[in-house]
Structure 1
């Protein structure tokens, strides 16, 4: 009983910290406004589950007033699985409508675009097709914002990837206003560390994906993560230095 009480206290303290950083990100980067209709990309991983929980809880507060829907995209030809019934129950408990779409792509196929080499990569094609489903549903539902579950570590890893492979100082912004459609991409977890999400997910008993993506560790991103971890071991303040640099160079809002 004492252990359960301690875990409950730890979960409440952690929720408070996660929510505090979520609200700070909302205010700092102007992510949510009155009358927003937000579509959340719900992959079923810990990050998207937390994102939906934070947004759903916040939507019950009168200011700002906004509505939340969730989308789970099934990819027919990529062999990883998420229990859709679990996602449905998760959404039902939060009072959020879940939409499920199924799509596919051919590995090695080339979609229209400039960089054919990049487009042959399965991760790029999978992401591109998922985003396409999200944009289509957002417009069908009349959503003006799409929320993605990228946390601070994701943004910092992307910064290192862009420096290393693209020769530019850039990242995934917390707020990105699309130029060709009336939509904005928001990343409300941008000020939350991955380790806190992992701890909260374990305490809350978030269900893990039944099978992970076969390409999950076969990418430059996995290599960059190892490099970033080594940098943090060398300098525990590196996270804050990089984040401050992104802020100073206005890389976290793209309008």
Structure 2
């Protein structure tokens, strides 16, 4: 009889594979860079893509990058990340960046930290010849973003599962998009994924936290709600996008 870990591993990999196929995320010869934060989602993504790169067709090459922020004490155990990546046959790059937190600005520290991490990620990808960046967002992240945009930005949109950058030769893919967060969380616990050393000091309850809690209540009323939202996003073409980004 299979263990719960084996059952979840099979289910997660099947949904991961389905996302790759359904949204045409891979092409032969792709060089894919994983954004590895050190959280459960990015660790799961690395494990799945590490497994996928052993398949011959389409042939892909996978590496990962962990971006450290010098002046924000948000840390993961890099020795653990290196061992984890090596276990799954993925080369890991560790890059350090920072931003000037003494300048007066109306942008919160969270925004600046995220923007500079993304800048370092995109530049590294371009400088080292990757054509795709894989991020660990799952279905819950995408749905919560759609709710945030609708309630706070007057826009029916979300983070696309495939996003072609207009001003740089990069495509963002989110191969965990058909996975539910609770399944990844359970799998991470069963596998013994190591948690981050320190969480960000700016981390606190936010509008996203409110959306998560609200959606949990919606699902109690209608367990099929996530699929209704997902199909609405698909129908309106919100899951694939051409994006202009300046760095």
Sort the TM-score into its range (normalised by shorter chain). Answer: over 0.9
Partner of 2:202: 215
Distance (whole Å) between structure 1 residues aligned to residue 62 and residue 110 of structure 2 = 27
Q: How many residues of Structure 1 are paired with residues of Structure 2 in the alignment?
A: 242
Partner of 1:236: 223
**Residues in 1 aligned to 2:221 and 2:205: alpha-carbon distance in whole angstroms:** 25
Task: Give the unaligned 5+ runs of structure 1.
Answer: 1-5, 111-115
Aligned-partner SS, 1:39: strand
Please report how far the alpha carbon of residue 232 of structure 1 lies from its aligned counterpart in structure 2 after TM superposition.
Answer: 1.4
Moved over 6 A (4+): none
Residue in 2 that maps onto 1:98: 92
Q: Alignment partner of 1:79: what SS?
A: coil
Q: What are the superposed Cα offsets for residues 66-118 of structure 1, whole Å, 9 maximum, x if unpaired?
A: 001100011122222200000010111112111111111244857xxxxx75x
The residue aligned with 1:144 is 131
1:80 to 68, 74, 83: 74
- Superposition pairs of residues 171-250 of structure 1, within 5 angstroms: 171-250=158-237
Alpha-carbon distance between aligned partners in 1 of 2:71 and 2:210, rounded to the nearest angstrom: 25
Quote the Cα distance in structure 1 between the aligned partners of 2:55 and 2:210: 41
SS in 2 for 1:226: helix
Unaligned runs of 5+ in 2: 243-247
1:30 to 14, 24, 28: 24
Give the secondary-structure state (helix, strand or coil) at the position aligned to 1:19.
helix
Q: Given the two structures, how large is their TM-score scaled by the length of structure 1? A: 0.91
